Structure 1
């Protein structure tokens, strides 16, 4: 319980909250003193939603803590440092480095837009931060000027408030009609809830650069409906001030995420501008999927929330892009769906927080090899199954998760997933196209070619609990998973039950495929121990993390 003393409150017996320095949709930010280490810190006190049930509130709190702990693993000069995550009087707090200086939004409001040189510098720093986060399977989801800090005296650019959609429990437009995020900076594919990935953060950066250069987002309108229409349908007109950086801005504001300019190429163009005073065209040979944007499955066409659409254009053949007419029709369906959902009762929540990392292995250090590969010793080992980095959320009622999932009580799967009622007695949402395979006491759902492996195991509980089980599995990692490295076990909770998250990388099944990463969550519930994990190649951790979160969030024993 926090204590009061001489105009200051002390939380977790350590952090003295001294002055409020900011407020947003997710809560209040305080300047505080870490009394143990004698240093100044910033503490984010997360707001509690009084409309949530006790289970929903616990689910949101557990997920917040899990995501914050994951972001705390990121290390980059332009990403906020998370020192600690604590709970005081059932309210979560995130302890971060204190950046003296305002946000980019404050700077623009106070001094006006920046010039192209300064915008390029800011863009390069943010691209470095995003690439580091994306490589770790972490998305930002709310990149905007208010979430970019400018350190006084050094002008260091610091990206903060990761994972708003993940922490708030929604992608963008939820099934209740609420919009979570900042619509002027939200990519069109996220507007529909059909897809989100590194590409979506890059769209947001394009809108941010326009704002930094001109003082306003190119998608600013008088209403939420107007903003949605501008993002999805209207002609995109970058401001005149963006002319020096136009190839970058236009490339980032490409509506098709598969054609959008990637982080590596965008940084190359911005550096060329700083070196030469002009921005070259993007490389014609460049495609975002070659280096820094994880390849993602095609997003399904978003259904209208209230009324079926009868005039959508037929899909283009898989081997060629859709025509302009069909693309325009698809955008019309998308914006109609977004608008209907928004008008169903949406308020706009501009909030902020933190997010996550990615894994491999196979659900225990004893992952089985793909069918196409010869059997190996690890297919028959029985060491404890690793714990996936699942969301530590309470028993769900009706909540929309980070990947657009409605929690199990509503028995719905997000777009692109199906609800699997497994013969073993549990249910969970798995990606469409994944096929089931039983391997002894483990059940797998496998993608084509077994690139992604989602595993589930249920056993009798161990006397010393999930964390001890996962630590033993971690200790055996080098013998059960050749090339094992970067193993990490974190004690946590899931649905209010004791849990442990195990995350690690290893050498993979074959040299051709290369290294893999695993997220694994293990927890005890109602006299059973459950283990859910997802394994994937290290280059696909963003997708793996999404599959993992959905699986854990929708799992019902």
Structure 2
């Protein structure tokens, strides 16, 4: 609706930004008056807010029948420009920016003001990382609402790809609509493209109404926040307070104790503290593993003292060695896999097929622990090309089991591997199991992995 000029205030000797209204020539006199009133409404709405994330309004000048708004000049780039020049943003950084935008929205909503045009081009980030929400040009005072003639002339206004579905349907839209737009904005900056962008506006709005968009692939720990914000039903969206809490959790991933380490081939190493396994019966242990990892597709038969044989899905067998680990368990691993131990953490590597199995102590809630591990991994940049496949609690033993499955692209010696890696983290009381294999060989690898885990026994 306007062009923002960089200008110099000669009276106070300072740089300012001046917003000029550019009215299309096809507008009627009434529509011109409406747009001029809207710009004045932006000035009033913005001036009414006292928040560090709102660009200050210095003055409003009317020249040749058009209002010009004199504003604070901010040396900053929009999120749209940042993503265009730098590519998709890391979820942790996006969460921090999202919290800052949410803070402005909460202040606006508290003052009865709806922004109605939250999108990447209206979010500015300066060199110090300070975030601004700009362009309250479509803002309305929720306590009064727009007049009838304004509603008729305005129709559906805003950027289609960032319009909440209730606004497209012409329903009363409240603060939840701004939160929906914030969710789409965050999706856009972490994925590099708007979820609803289509070749033309009508197709875009249809996609919004149907909720048709690709699931996020780069959002990591931000994924559940996006889902909560982009809920089609306004009543089903989280409150601003809840969203702020979730964004804070993503923006400041907790530091694990001891600190997380990042081997080149394996990606998460958690606490090395010895688990308490005395009360865990062997039958219960097997039941949890069976639920976490699905039905076993391989069967093990004892061969002799210290030896075992794996019967694979194709009918073949693989000889294995039995390990009695100090961490309090026994397991059979195929012969030829290299074993490396560090404290209570043990890793076996099948160098011939680039597969690894790691078993380590795990404490606390299984699902919460996996979520912390995911946030820490993404914050440390340890999972390039990360794509979550599942993260879920698994019924059994009071919900104490959980699984986290994903793909990523690993590095060796600083060079990317030629193939994607597939990882499965399974947690149960006392232990975590991490299996990694090339994605293109995941199915046969998991069959052998299932057979290995069936032999796992915790010692009382």
Equivalent position to 1:149, from 114, 124, 134: 124
SS of the residue 2:97 aligns to: helix
CA gap of 1:275–1:96, structure 2 versus 1, over 3 A, is: same
- Provide the C-alpha distance between the structure 2 equivalents of 1:176 and 1:99, rounded to a whole number of angstroms: 33
Where does residue 39 of structure 1 map in the other structure?
14
Q: Report how far residue 277 of structure 1 moved.
A: 5.1
Alignment pair present for 1:122 and 2:97: yes
Q: Report how far residue 262 of structure 1 moved.
A: 1.5
- Provide the C-alpha distance between the structure 1 equivalents of 2:133 and 2:14, rounded to a whole number of angstroms: 21
Where does residue 244 of structure 1 map in the other structure?
221
Q: TM-score, normalised by structure 2?
A: 0.51
The answer as to whether partners of 2:45 and 2:139 remain within 8 angstroms in 1 is: no
CA gap of 1:197–1:92, structure 2 versus 1, over 3 A, is: same
Q: Name the structure with the higher strand share.
A: 2
RMSD over aligned Cα, in angstroms?
Answer: 2.7
Higher relative contact order (CA 8 A, sep 6+): 1
Equivalent position to 2:160, from 183, 188, 199: 183
SS of the residue 2:20 aligns to: strand
Q: Report how far residue 56 of structure 1 moved.
A: 3.7
Where does residue 133 of structure 1 map in the other structure?
108
Where does residue 207 of structure 2 map in the other structure?
230
- Provide the C-alpha distance between the structure 1 equivalents of 2:19 and 2:178, rounded to a whole number of angstroms: 23
The answer as to whether partners of 1:108 and 1:215 remain within 8 angstroms in 2 is: yes
- Provide the C-alpha distance between the structure 1 equivalents of 2:10 and 2:115, rounded to a whole number of angstroms: 31
Alignment pair present for 1:105 and 2:80: yes
**Could you tell which deviates more after superposition, 53-62 or 88-97?**
53-62
CA gap of 1:64–1:165, structure 2 versus 1, over 3 A, is: same
Where structure 2 has 5 or more consecutive residues not aligned to the other structure, the ranges are 256-366, 370-460
SS of the residue 1:199 aligns to: helix
- Provide the C-alpha distance between the structure 1 equivalents of 2:107 and 2:181, rounded to a whole number of angstroms: 17
CA gap of 1:243–1:170, structure 2 versus 1, over 3 A, is: farther
Where does residue 202 of structure 1 map in the other structure?
179
Q: What are the Cα deviations for residues 352-391 of structure 1, in whole angstroms up to 9, with x where unaligned? A: xxxxxxxxxxxxxxxxxxxxxxxxxxxxxxxxxxxxxxxx
- Provide the C-alpha distance between the structure 2 equivalents of 1:44 and 1:116, rounded to a whole number of angstroms: 32
The answer as to whether partners of 1:211 and 1:217 remain within 8 angstroms in 2 is: yes
**Max Rg structure:** 2
CA gap of 1:177–1:68, structure 2 versus 1, over 3 A, is: closer
SS of the residue 1:79 aligns to: coil
The answer as to whether partners of 1:116 and 1:245 remain within 8 angstroms in 2 is: yes
The answer as to whether partners of 2:38 and 2:138 remain within 8 angstroms in 1 is: no
- Provide the C-alpha distance between the structure 1 equivalents of 2:254 and 2:80, rounded to a whole number of angstroms: 26
Q: TM-score, normalised by structure 1?
A: 0.43
- Provide the C-alpha distance between the structure 2 equivalents of 1:177 and 1:66, rounded to a whole number of angstroms: 14
CA gap of 1:139–1:234, structure 2 versus 1, over 3 A, is: closer
- Provide the C-alpha distance between the structure 2 equivalents of 1:196 and 1:177, rounded to a whole number of angstroms: 15
Q: What are the Cα deviations for residues 131-156 of structure 1, in whole angstroms up to 9, with x where unaligned? A: 0011001111111110111112x021
The answer as to whether partners of 1:165 and 1:181 remain within 8 angstroms in 2 is: no
Q: Report how far residue 94 of structure 1 moved.
A: 0.9
Equivalent position to 1:161, from 115, 129, 135: 135
Q: What are the Cα deviations for residues 2-53 of structure 1, in whole angstroms up to 9, with x where unaligned? A: xxxxxxxxxxxxxxxxxxxxxxxx1211001111111100000011233333
- Provide the C-alpha distance between the structure 2 equivalents of 1:104 and 1:85, rounded to a whole number of angstroms: 27
Where does residue 90 of structure 1 map in the other structure?
65
Q: Report how far residue 81 of structure 1 moved.
A: 1.3
SS of the residue 1:225 aligns to: helix
Q: What are the Cα deviations for residues 280-305 of structure 1, in whole angstroms up to 9, with x where unaligned? A: 79xxxxxxxxxxxxxxxxxxxxxxxx
Q: Report how far residue 180 of structure 1 moved.
A: 2.4
The answer as to whether partners of 2:113 and 2:139 remain within 8 angstroms in 1 is: no
CA gap of 1:235–1:48, structure 2 versus 1, over 3 A, is: closer
Alignment pair present for 1:212 and 2:186: no
CA gap of 1:134–1:226, structure 2 versus 1, over 3 A, is: same
Q: What are the Cα deviations for residues 304-324 of structure 1, in whole angstroms up to 9, with x where unaligned? A: xxxxxxxxxxxxxxxxxxxxx
CA gap of 1:276–1:221, structure 2 versus 1, over 3 A, is: same
- Provide the C-alpha distance between the structure 2 equivalents of 1:219 and 1:65, rounded to a whole number of angstroms: 31
CA gap of 1:280–1:113, structure 2 versus 1, over 3 A, is: farther
Alignment pair present for 1:193 and 2:170: yes
Alignment pair present for 1:80 and 2:51: no
CA gap of 1:239–1:113, structure 2 versus 1, over 3 A, is: same
